[in-house]
Amino acid sequence: MRRYGFPVAPEQVSGFMQAVTLLGPRSMADIREAALATLAPPPDRRDEFEAHFQSHFYGNTAAVVEGEADEETRIKDDGGTRDEESEVARQEEGGELSSGAEQLSARDFQRDGNGLAAFRRKLSAALPARRSFRTVRTHARGKLDLRRSLREIVSADGDVPSPLLRRRQTVPRKLLILIDVSGSMKLHTSDYLKLAHAAVQGADRAEIFTFGTRLTRITGALRIRDRDQALARVAALVDDWD
């Protein structure tokens, strides 16, 4: 609808999908009513909306809209000719053309050079850090470790030894990377995974997930030092490529 100039906001898209889910849908009429209620086509473009609906769900590319001056305007369809579609598919009711089953795919990553070596080496020092609640022993710039100090005094028969100190430990913050592996990001997926492999190798507390139609944790696979082997393991682990 946006392609043909209908103003549709993102929240209207979410509302449309929720309305379809609530209605079942039991028939194509439910989908049409959900679209009318949530996408709200202007009243003066209702006929045009109906033509687009017929074109998209029923394959009726010859749908026309009557203008105010009784002029006929053929609806543009950038989807190309549909002559290759079988007559059976043309005659099916619209709801039967769609499916709720996810389409899974595999992916093969080509070998190439590693241009992220410098990034991997510098990443650990570049990540932000925080002060942990755990403490470690230190010889300077710390707080008095009263328990250990008293223990040393008792063991030394009351002599006061050098003060024993502790300070709070500094640890790097966790790094979380989410990689979109859907079809719209197909051209970038390989580069993102190579970057993620460098991040796992350079940071101790990195977690990597992919998401398409599923959410898959691939951190363990990317811990393999050899990048080609790691990406091959990821390719076998993720089912919803593209």
Positions of the chain with pLDDT under 70: 62-100, 108-114, 160-161
Q: Are 32 and 138 members of one domain?
A: no
pLDDT score for 192: 93
Give me the number of domains the chain comprises. Answer: 3
Residue 236 to residues 47, 86, 111, 191, 194, Cα–Cα distance (Å): 49, 35, 16, 17, 16
Q: What is the pLDDT of residue 112?
A: 58
pLDDT at 157: 73
pTM of the model: 0.47
Domain annotation covers residue 109: no
User: Is 72 contained in some domain?
Assistant: yes
Please, what is the angle between helix 227-237 and helix 189-202, to 10°? 120
Tell me: do 141 and 214 sit in the same domain. Answer: no
Closest CA to 21 of 36, 31, 29: 31
Q: What is the pLDDT of residue 69?
A: 40
pLDDT at 70: 43
187 in the same domain as 78? no
State the CB neighbour count (10 A cutoff) for residue 72.
Answer: 8
The whole-number pLDDT of residue 97 equals: 56
User: For the chain, where are the alpha helices, taking DSSP H only?
Assistant: 10-23, 28-39, 46-58, 87-91, 117-126, 146-155, 189-202, 219-222, 227-237
Q: Are residues 229 and 122 in the same domain?
A: yes
Q: Is residue 68 part of a domain?
A: yes
Q: Does a structural domain hold residue 48?
A: yes
Domain contains 214? yes
